[in-house]
Structure 1
Amino acid sequence: MDSSTGPDNHESTVEDDVESTVLLDLSSCQLRDLDSVELPPSLNELDLTANRLTALDPRISHLSNLKKLSLRQNLFTDDGVLPLSTWHPISALHELVLRDNQLKKIPDVSIFKMLLVFDVSFNEISSLNGLSKVSNTLKELYVSKNEVTKMEEIEHFHELQILELGSNRLRVMENLENLSTLQELWLGRNRIRSINLCGLKCIKKLSLQSNRLTSMTGLEECVALEELYLSHNGITKMEGLSTLVNLRVLDVSSNKLTEINDIENLAKLEDLWLNDNQIPSLDNIAEAVAGSRETLTTIYLERNPCANSPNYVSTMRGIFANIQQVDSEMFA
């Protein structure tokens, strides 16, 4: 990296905005330590993303106004972040990002009683053990791209709105019952065989892409759902969708579907992804998507037998009054 990206060039990033937030951005400076850096005591946000840090500078522990700390994309191990558990002067931290390091377990962050965002994605964590000590104030939890095998120690997160556990080794959806405020659940690239939302009805975004589903049953009561991503599974039938009247985006591409079913009354549907299935013909598509003929703006059917029909694109444009895109072809 060019030396012009060194820490001296980031001095000007310590600045006050209209809310008097003081940010020090030292991202991408290739720093091995912070010895050459001044840490103003007024700091609210410290961004150390994309450096080569292995140890925490003890001066950070004295930044009593600190609300956001990003240690993303460094070389921290479990021992390297251990001091955090005793740094009481910064216990009012709202956001802690440890994404893309070398952690093997959930670190002890129990002193942060006001934590809202906690990110330990892209590490080598094999278990969620330790989450029970994380504050129940948490609103966003990111543990994607690890080696987690079980959804556990999340029951106390009554305020949680976003849960990201994609790219792990999960086989079962469980222990979600208490997450009554959860709006987004991201579980793509796991080994889940069936949908079980444990009674939750307020989910707005759900991703189960690239799992081992053969059925989409289990969604019927999720009436708040707006975006549903089920691509790259083994689903053979569209079902349990008719009650999802708020659905705007439906992605069931790369499955084993032979018909378009159970979406005829979805009047808010805007994006429909059906590509890479086995739908044979366009004969009944107008009826199958009757409720969204006015709202649908994007439809993908490529790599289905029906996409080889004569005048395929013009047929789609004739059915959907406001269509803007058919497969990769866009219209003004």
Structure 2
Amino acid sequence: MEVQPEKDKESEGTAHIDIVDDRPSPRIDGEPSPSLRDSKGWDGKLRIPKSALMSNPEALSDPEYSDDSNVLQGEEIRADENLLDSEDSEAEEIMCSHSRISSLPALRLERFKNVARICLRQNLIQDIESLDSLADTLEELDLYDNLISHIRGLDNLTKLTSLDLSFNKIKHIKHINHLKNLKEIFLVANKISKIEGLEGLDKLKSLELGSNRIREIQNLDSLKNLEELWLAKNKITELTGLGGLPKLRLLSIQSNRIRDLSPLKEVPQLEELYIAHNALESLEGIENNTNLKILEISNNQISSLKGVGPLKDLEELWASYNQLGDFAEVERELKDKEDLTTVYFEGNPLQLRGPALYRNKVRLALPQVKQIDASKLFYPSITQADMFLNLL
């Protein structure tokens, strides 16, 4: 958390687990490229440790169990009622996550005349409504993890710069292209099958559409200032449709069905490419992207680094779990990369065939590197002669 210099989209003060994170794996504290599951293989089930002591263990085994008889009688109120009464009417930020809010009108947000950011993550909101009174001040709207099916109710919110509707039930991108000040849109983990409805968003810099049902990159040509495009975990087969994005510097398209890198010649200015978990067998076509600084190609079937040679500015190469087996080629293709500080080769034949000598061989081939896989190298300057002795 898709993992990072980019914006942290984790929930505030909750125990919610995001199954999908469109952030690139190299940004997670030096960990190797993970799968798109939780590290413990979380599958949505509640798991109770065997050693746990519970006052009501029958709750786990009896489907008819209820503790209603132990509830003290009192006044029943709606979950949303009076929820924000303690907030200062001059507040510039309203944050209320995981509070079972189902109705925006019930919050009476019109009383907050200066609010610039609203964050109502992990609630039960189905409709975006009653926000028109905030049109003069509202800049950021975060409704991550609710029950929203349609994008509506944003007609007058023309000052919005950030919109997060991730983890909802949205099928179509509609009714937002009049929001000319938007700089970032987050629509991760919805049910979107087509990129559409974004024409005219001239200020948009970041678009996140990870974990949807998209099969084609399309309808992006009008986004002339787009810098970051996040498309992980979709069903995309080709890297076409990027030629109209002259400022695109980051593309995250992990866990798709990409086989051919040659269409990337349309975005020669690209600086970061995250394309792990695809169907790549070679890096042919990448040689045109000479501005690349970060290249993440883990979990493919790549057997050669041919194509990387022209990437003189490369700083990080993440190539774990491929079919690389030639140390001589590693040296030939990467040794001249003076800014290369990080390489990941674990899970390749060159590591699996001789794990005891693997790290020393990489150090010998690439003396400029400071991190190999998850471990940083803490040692003074080592000459090639010293490293040769370590191999004996």
- TM-score clears 0.5: yes
Q: Using the alignment, how far apart are the partners of 1:213 and 1:296 within structure 2?
A: 26
Which letter does structure 1 place at the counterpart of 2:365?
Answer: I
Does residue 328 in structure 1 map to residue 374 in structure 2?
yes
Decide which of 88, 91, 104 is 1:40's aligned counterpart.
88
Aligned runs of 1:182-221 on 2, under 5 Å? 182-196=226-240, 197-221=242-266
- Where does residue 118 of structure 2 map in the other structure? 69
Deviations 1:7-64 (A, max 9, x none): xxxxxxxxxxxxxxxxxxx966xx9225152332211111112221111235311322
How high is the sequence identity, in percent, across the aligned residues? 32
What is the alpha-carbon distance in structure 2 between the residues aligned to residue 219 and residue 244 of structure 1? 7
Judge conservation of contact 1:265–1:290 (CA < 8 Å) in 2: no
Query: What is the distance in 1 between the residues matched to 2:115 and 2:373?
Result: 47
Contact 1:266–1:291, Cα closer than 8 Å, also in 2: no
User: CA separation in 2, counterparts of 1:205 and 1:224?
Assistant: 9
Which residues of structure 1 form unaligned runs of 5+? Answer: 1-25
Alignment of 1:259-278 (within 5 A): 259-278=304-323
With 92-101 and 243-252 compared, the bigger mean Cα shift is at 243-252
Judged with a 3 Å threshold, the aligned counterparts in structure 2 of structure 1 residues 261 and 34 are, in CA distance, closer, same or farther, namely farther
Distance change (3 Å), C-alpha of 1:229 and 1:89? closer
Distance 1:108 1:152 in 2: 18
Aligned to 1:139: 183
Change (3 A) 1:214 1:114: same
Show CA shifts across 1:138-185 (max 9, x none): 100000100100000011111100000000000000011011100100
Q: Spell out, residue by residue over 1:269-313, the C-alpha distance to the aligned partner (whole angstroms, 9 max, x if none).
A: 121111111123222111112441x22221111121122354221
| 1:55 matched to 2:100 | no
The answer to whether 1:180 aligns with 2:224 is yes
SS at match of 2:129: helix
Name the counterpart of 2:346: 302
Q: 1:125 aligns with which of 151, 170, 180?
A: 170
Conserved? CA contact 1:265–1:291, under 8 Å? no
Contact 1:265 1:289 in 2 (8 A): no
Q: Say which SS state the counterpart of residue 149 (structure 1) adopts.
A: coil
SS in 2 for 1:55: coil
Tell me if the contact between 2:135 and 2:159 (Cα under 8 Å) persists in the aligned partners: no
TM-score, reference length from structure 1: 0.85
For residues 263 and 105 of structure 1, the distance between their equivalents in structure 2, rounded to whole angstroms, comes to: 44
SS at match of 1:219: helix
Pick the structure with greater CA Rg: 2
Kindly indicate whether the alpha-carbon contact (under 8 Å) linking 1:174 and 1:198 is maintained by their aligned counterparts in 2. Answer: no
In the alignment, which residue of structure 2 is the partner of 1:169? 213
1:19: which partner in 2? none
State the TM-score, normalized to the length of structure 2: 0.72
Q: For residue 218 of structure 1, give the secondary structure of its aligned residue in structure 2.
A: helix
One-letter code of the match for 2:118? Answer: L
What amino acid does structure 2 have at the position aligned with 1:267? K
1:231 and 2:280 matched: no
How far is the alpha carbon of 1:224 from its aligned partner?
Answer: 2.7
Q: What is the CA–CA distance in structure 2 between the aligned matches of 1:211 and 1:193, rounded to whole Å?
A: 7
Any conservation in 2 of the 1:239–1:261 contact (CA below 8 Å)?
Answer: yes
Partner of 2:49: none
- What amino acid sits opposite 1:168 in the alignment? N
* Partner in structure 2 of residue 318 of structure 1: 364
Counterpart of 1:50, as a letter, is H
Q: What is the CA-CA distance between 1:94 and the residue it aligns to?
A: 0.5
Counterpart contact for 1:44–1:65, Cα < 8 Å: yes
- Equivalent runs, 1:89-104 vs 2, <5 Å: 89-104=134-149
Contact residue 184 and residue 204 of structure 1 kept, 8 A: yes
Is the Cα–Cα contact under 8 Å of residues 194 and 214 in structure 1 kept in the other structure?
Answer: yes
Query: SS in structure 2 opposite 1:256?
Result: coil
Q: In structure 2, what is the Cα distance between the partners aligned to 1:314 and 1:297?
A: 15
Q: SS at 2:163's partner residue?
A: strand
CA contact (8 A) 1:231 1:251 kept: yes
Amino acid at match of 1:244: N
Q: Indicate conservation of the 8 Å contact 2:190/2:211, yes or no.
A: yes
* Alpha-carbon RMSD: 1.9
1:152 maps to 2:196: yes
* Residue correspondence of structure 1 range 81-92 to structure 2 within 5 A: 81-84=128-131, 87-92=132-137
Gaps of 5+ in 2: 1-11, 15-77, 379-392
Check conservation: 1:61, 1:90, Cα contact below 8 A: no
Amino acid at match of 1:194: E
The offset of 1:260, in angstroms, is: 0.5
Give the match's secondary structure for 2:343. strand
Paired residues, what number? 299
Mark the CA change 1:96 to 1:313 in structure 2 (over 3 Å): closer, same or farther. same
